[in-house]
Structure 1
């Protein structure tokens, strides 16, 4: 029996779930325009452990969303996960954010295109088939009317940038699923348990989130 705590903070959704042998027992999450992850994450973690009636020492591992996504959100989630792993002396598991997002789609054919907003017309995206096998690597791309034009299969787009993308992606085989905006820790449960069983973990000391793009700090011009 393995209890795994899953932490997802790559987008506006601050999400935490507790899973037992790959099945989600509890989940607490809130999508906030103000990115209140720093205030809510540890509260959610404490509440889930208490409501489950277990102790932190009962956890077998911590899983965290590795990105791509918000620089600040990822830093907050990874820092919390590392701190727990150090304190409890348990493994750290890294889960791809776009794979977690794709798991919310249930379909038998075509492709799933999870996308996370990267400002303006740029997105972080990947392509998965209906079995969640990855068919195209994660990349940062600027969406234009020619994006995904080579595909004749049904393409199901999900994520927090559907509104801006469907203004230019208008092919008849493109479907936008409006109800799926953010990745959730609920979908991390099966993924993290599979990695736990395979001892597919990361180094707690040296693990860094997958930002995909360099984080840039802009300053006002002195001129």
Structure 2
């Protein structure tokens, strides 16, 4: 089955198509423009260049977060519109899971870090074993200081990747010394191909959902929710 993967949750907008044979096509753009400007043109050129009609797409996978609140809303709204018009099932993919997939075969612990602003990173720990990526810890939003403290206890080499690396690499190196390894810069941004492949795996396991049930995974409250709680004393639903 051909699955369309879409990522608008991170700095780069990415789209791809994959099936059981692997990745069939991919478009990826990191030009600083808002994803509302770039996502649909990327999709249009992807299908045209791959000569794949919409009728051949059997499901859509999309990153649900954590990541940019604005990007998440753009990505999910785009997917919900497409899925409704085309009557397609959808599957949500966690950004950190997709980012970790950039490093198959790496023997160290793998730690994707996304810049969450406010001196925090979105992160989780992974290990590639038995031919698959396994998550070892909960998803969390933490300060770099807390993350490094937790990792030093493990006394293992850790390979970092993600858009948080350029922001915190110097700090991590200073604290972890030779225990810190950094992926090539080309691996720091999430790719639609990983979203499509993880989505394909979910569809094969029957883990699809409806467009009305898929929701963003923010991991921490948005700025609007924080302000609402301060004003009203309760969570805005």
TM-score, normalization by structure 2: 0.86
Residues 104-141 of structure 1 deviation map (CA, whole Å, 9 limit, x = unaligned): 11334221000100114200000000231000111000
Q: Which of residues 169, 174, 177 in structure 1 aligns to 2:180?
A: 174
What does 1:55-74 align with in structure 2 at a 5 Å threshold? 55-74=53-72
- The residue that corresponds to 1:214 in the other structure is 221
- Give the deviation of 1:147 after TM superposition: 4.3
Alignment check: 8 A CA contact 1:22 1:193 kept: no
Residues 124-167 of structure 1 deviation map (CA, whole Å, 9 limit, x = unaligned): 00000023100011100011152422121110010111133223
Alignment check: 8 A CA contact 1:22 1:194 kept: no
Find the residue that maps to 1:169 and give its secondary structure: helix
Greater fraction helix:
2
Alignment check: 8 A CA contact 2:19 2:197 kept: no
- The residue that corresponds to 2:204 in the other structure is 197
Instruction: Tell me whether 140-149 or 112-121 shows the greater mean CA deviation.
Output: 140-149
* Structure 1 stretches of 4+ moved >6 Å: none
Alignment check: 8 A CA contact 1:68 1:124 kept: yes
Q: Which of residues 86, 89, 94 in structure 2 aligns to 1:88?
A: 86
CA RMSD, 1 decimal = 1.7
Q: Structure 1 residues 50 and 163 mapped into 2: Cα distance closer, same or farther (>3 Å)?
A: closer
- The residue that corresponds to 1:165 in the other structure is 168
Alignment check: 8 A CA contact 1:116 1:124 kept: yes
User: Whole-Å Cα distance in 1 between the matches of residues 162 and 86 of structure 2?
Assistant: 34
Unaligned runs of 5+ in 1: none
TM-score, normalization by structure 1: 0.91
Alignment check: 8 A CA contact 1:17 1:48 kept: yes
Instruction: Tell me whether 71-80 or 50-59 shows the greater mean CA deviation.
Output: 50-59
User: Whole-Å Cα distance in 1 between the matches of residues 118 and 182 of structure 2?
Assistant: 19
- The residue that corresponds to 1:9 in the other structure is 8
- Give the deviation of 1:190 after TM superposition: 2.4
- The residue that corresponds to 1:75 in the other structure is 73
User: Whole-Å Cα distance in 1 between the matches of residues 151 and 195 of structure 2?
Assistant: 27
User: Whole-Å Cα distance in 1 between the matches of residues 105 and 3 of structure 2?
Assistant: 27
